[in-house]
Structure 1
């Protein structure tokens, strides 16, 4: 502490040389201020204010150091969490990519299946249409044959009616009856 007092006293004494009159007099304001300052410093030293200030500064330094350590710990935790989340994000992205690829593959398979089903459906419809066409052709042929038979019967009836006389008709009826009788027995 005396290391601080001596330079202060020399600094305080420097203006006193410029003052008029004796320096060590209570009438010299510089001397009185110097004595008051020295007494102030002595009171500070007596009450151990520099030690308390040093303790407060040390306590504050410890608090700052603790805050720095806490900040460093929190930073490390944050970096660990960030790395964990980045890893999870990569995993999720990989899983999403796999899901998209699987969905594309399934979509392609479904498209191929739909094409195959469409071909089968078209083939069935064509077969059904061909069957309906054949059925319509058969029905048309049958109708034409039926009409031809009706026309032929009508023509035969007309021809027979024109050429038939009652005696021939009776003979044909008798022949028909005997023929039916022979076929039934």
Structure 2
């Protein structure tokens, strides 16, 4: 069975659809729709490229900034280590100076103590000599007073005169 196919002005439905599509394409070309589509796509592509370039520039700037801060951190760590080492050297120098000063003070005080002891010994010896001289004078006075009488004095005087 064969069914008759509708037609208008001698065109079948497939022909009308083909004519409509051709008309749409012709109007689209006449209104420059492909150019607008290509321009829109080109514009989108250029916008995307611009954003990519900006992203690359931002990334490069971020990398440079990261490197700069990494360098600063490394320098800060080096400076901190140098300051710590310097502080250790200063502390060692202070300790060494304190030890030297302490040794010097101890030596000076020992010398002062020895000088005081020597002075005390000299004073004691001098005092002892003075007391011994006083005791000898008192003893001599007592002996002279006890042994020398007037007769002994007369004999001494006669002896002294005789020797002259």
Partner of 1:164: 148
Partner of 1:101: 85
CA distance in 1 between counterparts of 2:84 and 2:94 reads: 15
Deviation at 1:51, TM superposition (A): 6.0
List runs of 5+ in structure 2 lacking aligned partners: 1-26
Instruction: Tell me how large the CA RMSD over aligned residues is.
Output: 3.6
Deviation string 1:63-108 (CA, Å, 9 cap, x unpaired) is 3432331122011111112112212321231232123223313322
Which has the higher relative contact order, 1 or 2, with Cα contacts under 8 A spaced 6 or more apart? 1
CA distance in 1 between counterparts of 2:139 and 2:37 reads: 145
For normalisation by structure 1, the TM-score amounts to 0.56
Deviation string 1:25-51 (CA, Å, 9 cap, x unpaired) is xxxxxxxxxxxxxxxxx7x99877886
Within the candidate set 118, 140, 165, 2:102 is matched to 118
Within the candidate set 103, 127, 132, 2:111 is matched to 127
Deviation at 1:130, TM superposition (A): 1.2
Partner of 2:137: 153
Deviation string 1:117-148 (CA, Å, 9 cap, x unpaired) is 32222122112211211111111111111111
Alignment map for 1:9-28 (pairs within 5 Å): none
Within the candidate set 124, 128, 131, 1:140 is matched to 124
Deviation at 1:111, TM superposition (A): 1.7
Partner of 1:69: 53
- In the alignment of these two chains, the number of paired residues is 135
Q: Which secondary structure state, in structure 2, belongs to the residue aligned with residue 121 of structure 1?
A: helix
CA distance in 2 between counterparts of 1:127 and 1:69 reads: 85
CA distance in 2 between counterparts of 1:70 and 1:116 reads: 68
Deviation at 1:156, TM superposition (A): 1.6
CA distance in 1 between counterparts of 2:70 and 2:47 reads: 34
Partner of 1:85: 69
